[in-house]
A and B are shown apart, each in its own frame.
Chain A
Amino acid sequence: MTQCHSPGILLSKASLRFNQKILFENLSFELAAGKITCLLGPSGVGKTTLLRILASLPLAGRGENKLQTLPATVKKPNPDELIVHYDEQEVVCNARIRTSDQLPLRGRLAYMAQTDLLLPWLSLLDNVMLGNLLRHVPRSQSQIDHAMHILESVGLAEDAHHKPHALSSGMKQRGALARTLMEDQPVILMDEPFSALDAITRYDMQTMAAEKLQQKTVLLITHDPWEALRLGHQIFILRGQPANLSAPIIPPMMPPRDITDEALLPFQKQLLRELDLRISVT
């Protein structure tokens, strides 16, 4: 259904200033339709900020008003264009967001963060169905079956009725992935979703994610060049201040790739060079 029609997304004219620090100036960034786009870059360059602009999430924290309002003012001059304008205390930001299918992005994206964000008082099953709860969708047997099916596909069927504290960190993050999949949105924004996991669990989750996220438009922020090489249809590197974007790096073959494949070696080298990582002691 929606899966085959995941839109491409173009963010343009993005300018952002935190206090006196200019993070972006006239930055453009494109997410290819139905593809996984990986974004790499040094810490503090503005990757999370970029994702939050796309999701219309507040940029300078919610402060005391956290339950009160959404600070982003969203203007819509044309149906296919969205202007996000933030004017919070410390941040001035302007950006335009367009989608290739000319439909608004609002309500069509799912978000997965670095921490699992499972609510500790809900069972795993209820956590997976959180979106329906929050949108006041009545709880039906078919929804429950669907959620159970997704939980089963991430290997958590047996734990559906456990509370998060009874799960290991890898299981929690798989739960978060299940919740993200349950949303069944065409656009998925992920901010270092696997970075808190151990190497083995991370490898498993990457394989799982690549399989589940097919045909979806995905932004995957990561610190890990090998993760980008495993999962990204295209890879961008964000650098500098104000930040600019590298040319896209497009490795051969389809994700999830085998990173021991020799064809990926030159891309590994390129990524490490672009990230200014020194490989050996000089």
Chain B
Amino acid sequence: MFVSRIQNFIINTGKTLLPLVFIVIVWQFIVVIDKLPPYILPAPLLVWHTLVNNVPLLFSQALPTAFESIIGLTLSVLVGMSGALIFTYFRLAREYLLPSLIISQALPTFAIAPLLVVWFGYGMASKIVTVMIMLFFPVTMTFYDGLIQVNENWLDLAQTMQATRWSALRYIALPAALPALASGLRLAASWAPLGAVIGEWVGASQGLGYLMLNSNARLQVDMMFAALIWLIALALLLFFVVDRGMRWLIKIR
């Protein structure tokens, strides 16, 4: 049982990594055969060296980005879920606010990120707000959809059982909406570092986004790739934690 689980894990990891390994090998070949200079495309081996030799630097720059992502994600989840509950319970909010909220999503976060730096400063606040603006909407919409798609017949049953509005939410609509909420949260978790980096690109003195801009300016493309790999790792980590957490919640609901 245990051994077969380990076997499965190795096999699945292998299946996941195989295409990546293939890409890296092709990449290395292209660089070697075409004799590309490292400031155009660094070879994977060079990126690996940069990655290994700069752990303290990368770590210290990943820390603020991770902080912004996590705080931004947490706030997005709080605001997003409250928004969904408000739209569920207040018809006026749904009729007056929901349409403009949907329209506002046509605005790319990139376009307003400079404004956010003007308003919220050079520090972490503007990055956290960028993350929030990017993420709360998917959380709101997935949760709201989950809530209003609850089986009406369950609500009929609850009504004949003298349920209160709160108990119908707590014991019927909320558990029924959990899978939908989970997909919104997974999406948000994997996007959070991206939001933070966008904020950092516009103006910052630290963070992976800052490191990327800086390395780019100095033609240290290998360092850019190293920062990118840390960014991906951060996104995967957040995704993994949220995914596990939601799976657990769905299991015990």
Contacts and interface: CB of A to CB of B under 8 A. Distances in A.
B160 A134 contact: no
Say what secondary structure dominates the interface of chain A. loop
Interface majority SS on B: helix, strand, loop or mixed?
helix
A248 interface: no
A62 B154 contact: no
A246 to B, nearest CB: 27
Contacts of A65: 91
B91 A57 contact: no
Interface stretch (A4-12, A92-100, A107-115, A149-157): A107-115
B161 A119 contact: no
B153 interface: yes
B20 interface: no
Interface string A177-202: 00000010000010000000000000
Given A119-B154, A134-B162, A64 B167 contact: no
Contact of B155 (A62, A110, A121, A183): A62
B46 to A, nearest CB: 51
A160 B202 CA distance: 59
Contacts of A130: 157, 161, 171
Contacts of A131: 161-162
Nearest to A110: B160
Interface in A81-139: 106-107, 109-111, 113, 115, 117, 119, 121, 130-131, 133-136
Interface string B176-215: 1000000000000000000000000000000000000000
Contacts of A277: none
Given A67-B148, A68-B88, A68-B91, A117 B159 contact: no
Interface string B131-172: 000000000000000011011111111111111110111011
A107 B162 contact: yes
A134 B167 CA distance: 5
Contact of B167 (A106, A109, A113, A135): A135
Interface residues of A, number: 30
A61 interface: yes
Interface in A33-69: 55-58, 61-62, 64-68
B167 A133 contact: yes
A175 to B, nearest CB: 13
A66 B160 contact: no
A119 B155 CA distance: 11
B22 interface: no
A70 interface: yes
A2 B176 CA distance: 34
Interface string B56-91: 000000000000000000000000000000001111
B153 A68 contact: no
A57 B159 contact: yes
B35 interface: no
Contacts of A136: 164, 167
Contacts of A110: 160-161
A68 B172 CA distance: 14
Contacts of A68: 88-91
Contacts of B89: 67-68
A96 to B, nearest CB: 20
B168 A113 contact: no
Nearest to A179: B157
Contacts of B153: 113, 115, 117
A111 B157 contact: yes
A136 B176 CA distance: 19
Interface of A: 55-58, 61-62, 64-68, 70, 106-107, 109-111, 113, 115, 117, 119, 121, 130-131, 133-136, 183, 189
9 contacts: A58-B156, A67-B173, A113-B157, A117-B153, A119-B154, A121-B175, A130-B171, A135-B167, A183-B161
